[in-house]
Structure 1
Amino acid sequence: MAIAHPTPISDQPAPPDPRRLHAANRAAVAFYREQLGGEHARGVRDYLRNRGLATLARHDSDDGPAQWLVGYAPRAWTALTHQLRAEGFTDQELLTAGLSVRTRNQRLIDRFRDRLMFPIRDPAGRPLGFIGRAAPAAGPAVPKYLNTPETALYRKGTVLFGVAEQQDRIQAGWRPVVVEGPIDAIAIWLSHPSNSRSGAIGVASCGTTLTHAQASIVCNMPGAGSGIVVAYDDDPAGHTAIERAWSVLRDAIPPGPLLAAELDGGDPADLLRSDGGRAAVRNAVQDQAYPLVQAVIDHRLTKLTTRHPRLFEDVAGRCAAVRAVVPLLFEAVNAAQATELATRVTERLGVGLDTVAIAMAEHVDRSVHDAGTALEQAALGRPPPTHPIHRSPSAAILAFPTLRMDGTTHRTDARAPADQRPVGRRDSIGRTRNS
């Protein structure tokens, strides 16, 4: 007779119920919303008014400005924790949802205190977590932004703030604008009247550099075909973020051009406070937007001059700078843009087009050599070289005007019919030889 062995009891906690976590976050949204209207939140309301965002404190409806559900986490240590316990949520649920934290003496306290609270929601509108901005009276030692940690619901690299709140504009095909923070996203939203038939929508990457998953979300928006705009702060951190966004969005194969907003040294939230702020924001992210690769070139040259202030004072330094940015010329979407970018480099560095042409030829030579080396290694069953292999020029770059040494140009288009091509053929570095 077989002996029945008792089923071992696991000491692992039961997996969290997503429905309970969503419910806890909804209760937190309601609590923070109520707190924003209290006397202790007067300073936060003043801050919203001074930033041109006073309308966000309205509680009169779930659409219009109130659709953003902005709230305030009070300064008290356990205000939210006590409230949600009273509503029947367990300590484990509050910890798992990222709403509370446990101290060294095992006491449960609120994660967010004295902060302006922005719910992060999925496209269906369910709250997943929060972005908390320090209140105006917070000292310099307090982190400006604090996010919900990674939880069973919230994976910050896979969601974008502002998607749930702007589903109507997204489906209407408005142009997406990637921004750094929630206030920038709301500033773009406020800059368009509610009865606008077209415009731009701001989405924020929730306190992280743009990820591949977030880039995929943006590229799949109906309005991405008219262009995707990046509108980050005009500072060193913002420049680094722009380079990252350009690389990630390019790899996601956007359906339209990649553009940078003309922010004149600020960000969308700063522009909103300027004279004619709403119109200024609209112009910056629509009419005045320019190729993102141009912004990347400018930032790389600025970085070089910051590190080496005298770099452009001699020929060797200027040539080194040309070599540093010339690979980006192959990212142009067409011949006209490539020529414009090359001209911009010559003006910035004080060199001739012939210098850019030679640097481009060197770059093509390296690309061909690297690709050939990789092919040889593969044929021998060896791993490819560890150095990166440059991407082949896109089809659009086949139409890039060949820069002559005298600064004039002629067009060589390998895709054109034979009777429309220049006589002769080009060798590996772009020189035209007679047949």
Structure 2
Amino acid sequence: MGAPRLRQPTPAVRGAGLEPGRLLAAVDAAVSYYRAQLAHADAPSAYLAERGLGVLVHREWPWRVGYAPPGWSSLTGHLRAAGFTPEELIGAGLSARTRTGPDRLIDVFRDRVMFPVRHPAGHAVAFLGRSGPHAGDVPKYLNNPRTAIYNKSHLLFGLAEQRDRIAARWTPVLVEGPADVLAVWLSYSRSGGTGAVALAPCGTTLSDTQASILRELPGAARGLVTAFDADAAGRAAVDRAWRLLRHARCPGPLLAAEFRAGADPADLLRGPSGRAQLRTALRRRARPMLDMVVDHRLTRLVERHPRLLEDIDGRCAAVRALVPLLFEATSPQEAITVARRIVAHTGVGVDTVATAAISHLEDLLHDFGPPGERRQPRR
């Protein structure tokens, strides 16, 4: 039998008009169901162990990681038998109707390691489902649809589970997904003292709201670190984090930990002395985030124009493209560091960077001239 076709969701928020307590109860029941399934599922348990997260199979709190079995309606049948209505299961983002049979419900999550997403108050409101290594052509992570109790742009994974570390002013670390959050959490489980507390967007890129949440964390005054892969997606995530966190006016320095291409915190954890290596990467191999943004911008320029830096005209063009980042520095010292980085990358003199900076500043002043004054294009 072929896969059932899901009906397209309606524009309205799922669960609107239903009793929020019932939606929360359905999600909580799903957490318990998925948790029980993990104990009897060899493949997902082996996957977690291979990722260095095997302790989570037997240690229930605070994460309660689980497993959604591959059946089309395993969870749906279980929760229907427990007294939840179809509307409540759809409203909680756990079940969906099919196109071929509008009265038939199937599970939203199937054959995935399940990470509950919690409201800061502690109750589970949604899930992030991670596919296995041999799942085929499916999304790596599957997120709950938006519901009356869950908006993925307004929450950070790991916030509720690590309230003790957050209150102790541990340094916030922004990572890609739940496996990375758990890797950092485990790396500090026996370290003593203070350390890093990792948080992740809920299956989406960082939002303005999430940046504001990070800014308000007690440890943000000590600095905020990003820890992403060194691939194209990771570079884009760092650049976006820089823009949003700078706009949010985070109180401490913005830093970025360096990882090799294709590696992330969870990858480090499973290596020899993985926990110590991960702590070292977050503590000693973090550099100013703006430095990394400069590197990324130049990398994109060279990818588009491979011979850009081969002559003086190309190098000067690169300087003009990089100089606006000088004006994003959060301190004079950081601006000096960026200028030196531009000099080192392009091979031009400091005077060339200074001239380009003055020209850029003149352009800015020209664009924002006196109110009401007609500004002519600069020649």
Mapped to 2, the partners of 1:254 and 1:97 lie a distance apart of 34
Mapped to 2, the partners of 1:196 and 1:325 lie a distance apart of 42
Percent identical pairs in the alignment equals 54
Would you say 1:202 and 2:198 are equivalent positions?
yes
Query: How many residues end up aligned between the 2 structures?
Result: 360
> CA shift at 1:58, angstroms?
1.1
Note the alpha carbon deviations across 1:19-76, whole angstroms, 9 max, x for none. 00000000000000000001xx2011111111110001114x5xxxx31110000001
Would you say 1:248 and 2:244 are equivalent positions?
yes
Matched residue type, 1:289: A
Mapped to 1, the partners of 2:192 and 2:219 lie a distance apart of 15
Would you say 1:137 and 2:134 are equivalent positions?
yes
- Counterpart of 1:86 in structure 2 is 81
Aligned pair partner of 1:334 in 305, 308, 331: 331
> CA shift at 1:143, angstroms?
1.2
- Counterpart of 1:431 in structure 2 is none
Note the alpha carbon deviations across 1:190-228, whole angstroms, 9 max, x for none. 110246220001100011111110001100000000001
- Counterpart of 2:222 in structure 1 is 226
Aligned pair partner of 1:77 in 72, 77, 98: 72
- Counterpart of 2:21 in structure 1 is 19
Aligned pair partner of 2:359 in 362, 367, 372: 362
Note the alpha carbon deviations across 1:143-189, whole angstroms, 9 max, x for none. 11100001001100000000011000000000001111110111111
C-alpha contact (below 8 Å) 1:44/1:136 kept by paired residues: no
Matched residue type, 2:49: R
Matched residue type, 2:53: L
> CA shift at 1:341, angstroms?
1.9
**What does residue range 393-432 of structure 1 map to in structure 2 within 5 Å?**
none
- Counterpart of 1:43 in structure 2 is 43
Aligned pair partner of 2:306 in 290, 304, 309: 309
Aligned pair partner of 1:102 in 82, 97, 101: 97
- Counterpart of 1:408 in structure 2 is none
C-alpha contact (below 8 Å) 1:263/1:271 kept by paired residues: no
C-alpha contact (below 8 Å) 2:229/2:260 kept by paired residues: no
- Counterpart of 1:7 in structure 2 is none
> CA shift at 1:334, angstroms?
2.9
More moved, 232-241 vs 198-207: 232-241
Mapped to 2, the partners of 1:29 and 1:225 lie a distance apart of 34
More moved, 155-164 vs 262-271: 262-271
**Which protein is bigger by CA-based radius of gyration?**
1
Matched residue type, 2:57: A
More moved, 153-162 vs 279-288: 279-288
What is the CA RMSD across the aligned residues, in angstroms?
1.8
**What does residue range 115-264 of structure 1 map to in structure 2 within 5 Å?**
115-139=112-136, 141-194=137-190, 196-264=192-260
Aligned-partner SS, 2:80 = helix
Mapped to 2, the partners of 1:330 and 1:172 lie a distance apart of 34
C-alpha contact (below 8 Å) 1:346/1:356 kept by paired residues: yes
Please, which runs of 5 or more residues in structure 2 have no aligned partner? 1-14
> CA shift at 1:354, angstroms?
1.2
- Which of 1 and 2 has higher RCO (CA within 8 Å, sep 6+)? 2
Mapped to 1, the partners of 2:229 and 2:293 lie a distance apart of 13
Note the alpha carbon deviations across 1:297-349, whole angstroms, 9 max, x for none. 00010011111111111111111111111111122233333222211211111
Aligned-partner SS, 2:371 = helix
Would you say 1:344 and 2:338 are equivalent positions?
no
> CA shift at 1:285, angstroms?
1.6
Give the direction of change, closer, same or farther, for the CA distance of 1:109–1:188 in structure 2 (3 Å limit): same
- Counterpart of 1:403 in structure 2 is none
Would you say 1:52 and 2:52 are equivalent positions?
yes
Matched residue type, 1:84: L
TM-score (norm 1): 0.80
C-alpha contact (below 8 Å) 1:327/1:363 kept by paired residues: yes
